[in-house]
A and B are shown apart, each in its own frame.
Chain A
Amino acid sequence: METYLFYILATVTVIGTILAITEKHPVHAIVYLVTSFFSLASIFFLLSAPLIAMFEVIIYAGAVMVLFMFVIMMLDLGRADEAKRPPLRQWFLPVILGGIILVSIGVLAAGYVTTPHAPGAITVRDFAVTLFRKYGVAVEIISMQLLFAVVGALYLGRRRP
């Protein structure tokens, strides 16, 4: 069962990502990307990494994509003539993809048995220890990178003389 679910969700992820790349309208592209993030989160859950699955949903599908949406709305890239409700055929694919993910999550949830301390399961504590002890240097390097991404964006975004 889980193998079938994996292949179905993997197909949805790939299709969602391809559509996100090929879609011309930026907002539609983001919706497809969110779709692919959701199915990726379900795959992480299948791989018994529920924490990563939650992060995928909260950080990527939630925070990052909302930020993208904000920027696109602020820049006003969407054309005014397409501001009306999209025609029915444009709803078709997202609904199918979203439906598949929803059904998969439903199947997963129905068959899920809570085992409080399964042997070999990764807890939040294990995750945190590995991240900040073993890969502590990596976290510091990434924090420097993010800082300089902001510095660079501020500098290069200055109004040119």
Chain B
Amino acid sequence: MTTADLWIALPLILLAVGALLTLLIGAVTRDDTAATAIGVAVTLGAACWLLQTPPLPVAPSLGLSAAGLPRLFSCFFLLLAAGVLCLSSGYNRARGIGGEEYPATVLFATFGMLALASATTLLTLFLGLEAMSFGFYILVAVDLKRATSGETGLKYLLPGALSTAFLAFGIALIYCVSGTLAIHEAVQLTLTSGRPDPIALAGWGCLLAGIAFKLSLAPAHLWTPDVYQGAPAPVVAFLSGGSKGAAILLLLLLLPHAVDASHLRIPLWGVALLSMLVGNLAALLQNRVRRLLAYSSIAQMGYVAVALVSGKGGGYQAAAFYALAYGVISLAAFGAIAVLERQGCGETLDDYRGLGQSKPFASGVLTLALFSLAGIPPTVGFTGKFLIFTSAIRSGEIALAVIGVLLAAISVYYYLKVVITLYSKHTGTADASHPTYPEYSVLILASTAMVLLGLWPDALISLLSHLLP
């Protein structure tokens, strides 16, 4: 282990030590504030460390990458985790979710995401994804007082374990053909320009099936509404932004190395179309806000799949941009829902009636996030969708682009339905409870990022086109 190794592995080490320290703190004091504070400090510190240029692109003896794309996404995951921890402390106190396990598990899930981001071999990639999923299996069922939380956890765990089996088998088949676990060579040897090995294609099929679950692409989307409805709101923000961002990053680490990615066009095309259709049409029928957002997330991941189909025509940059944008939007949307629910809001659409007057701040943030999801300028959602559909048209996927734009237009209806409900008249009791300072700061930062990235996306786009071929 050299200094360069330590330099590159330090964010991972920080997170691991932070998670262990949080667990140990719990043995001394029952106050969760200290554990949350450690978590926020560790994530922000690791994010700051990642901003500097590393001495080498790959750690010499550890095989961890410190290239631009992994560092950008690692920073994003760390900031997201910090935001989620800030939102959780108030929410968990109101819901009676106690214990140091919660912040420790959030740190551990982030550790998994960072391990995935900095992977140079398929093995580390898989283990990182699994570490992250392990964290989420616990976090989804963390609310012991809620009757449905066990059910939610099981609904996430069982398909999750199945998708892991698919992923592991896919990686094994790819290894079987290429004889190497190194990402670059394994992808190059299996997705060659000529007629690829059928075993390699079976491997890629299994891998895509496993990832489709993590991204909740139809037809592997069935867990999404139940988990979005049953899990604590900050956890949903983290799941929706972080776990899906990590799954997109996994594909972005693999697919650009392919000599000829068109072998994967048909399955990706299919799931993209199906996800957009199922997500958008099912969301029209929902009358619970969280389920509506769950189906909307299936549709949004369908748009990402469109970008992945469009690959070399700028699609990879568009997918990376949308992953980051969707993370910020998720944090804002579910952060606002967390604040509203902490103040006693129910889960059906009727419970949100008139909240625009009684709780203007959180409702405003939720409205902005919904505008963003609907793709209304000047928010980041518009820019992301614009990038995706232009890349689709540029690489000749006209049919998919047209269907996507039409379905996005339909989706405006159900997003605006929530906004109209929020700002319609309601003769309810106005209570004077306010968001806490951590909640204010996270929601303001997320909203600012949504608007700024929508108005001036050039910097991020040029950075991404520099990082991705």
Q: Tell me the complex Cα distance, A143–B392, Å.
A: 42
Contact A158–B144 (Cβ < 8 Å):
yes
Contact B124–A155 (Cβ < 8 Å):
no
A134 shortest CB reach to chain B, Å: 7
Contact B138–A156 (Cβ < 8 Å):
yes
Interface residue? B439 (CB, 8 A): no
Contact B104–A151 (Cβ < 8 Å):
yes
Contact A144–B108 (Cβ < 8 Å):
yes
Given contacts A138-B123, A151-B23, A152-B137, contact A144 B104 (CB under 8 A): no
Return the chain B residue nearest A134 by Cβ: B63
Contact B144–A161 (Cβ < 8 Å):
yes
Determine the main DSSP class of A at the interface with B.
helix
Interface residue? A145 (CB, 8 A): yes
Tell me the B275-322 residues at the A interface (CB within 8 Å). Answer: none
Tell me the A19-76 residues at the B interface (CB within 8 Å). Answer: none
The tally of residues in A whose CB lies under 8 Å from a CB in B reads 21
Binds A, one of B127-135, B169-177, B328-336, B455-463: B127-135
Residues of A close to B105: CB separation below 8 A: 148, 151-152
Interface residue? A149 (CB, 8 A): yes
Residues of A close to B427: CB separation below 8 A: none
A15 shortest CB reach to chain B, Å: 19
Q: How many A-B residue pairs have CB under 8 A?
A: 66
Tell me the B70-107 residues at the A interface (CB within 8 Å). Answer: 99, 101, 104-105
Residues of B close to A135: CB separation below 8 A: 121, 123
Contact B101–A155 (Cβ < 8 Å):
yes
B185 shortest CB reach to chain A, Å: 15
Contact A142–B63 (Cβ < 8 Å):
no
Contact A155–B134 (Cβ < 8 Å):
no
Contact B131–A137 (Cβ < 8 Å):
no
Residues of A close to B52: CB separation below 8 A: none
Query: Can you list 25 contacts pairing A with B, beta carbon distance less than 8 Å?
Result: A133-B61, A135-B123, A136-B62, A137-B62, A138-B121, A138-B123, A138-B127, A141-B128, A141-B131, A144-B108, A144-B111, A145-B130, A148-B105, A148-B108, A148-B131, A149-B134, A151-B23, A151-B104, A151-B105, A151-B138, A152-B105, A152-B137, A155-B142, A156-B150, A161-B144
Q: Which residues of B approach A to under 8 Å, CB–CB?
A: 9, 16, 19, 23, 61-64, 99, 101, 104-105, 108, 111-112, 115, 121, 123-124, 127-128, 130-131, 134-135, 137-138, 141-142, 144-145, 150, 153
Cβ-closest 8 pairs across A and B: A152-B138, A141-B127, A155-B101, A148-B108, A145-B131, A137-B62, A138-B123, A160-B144
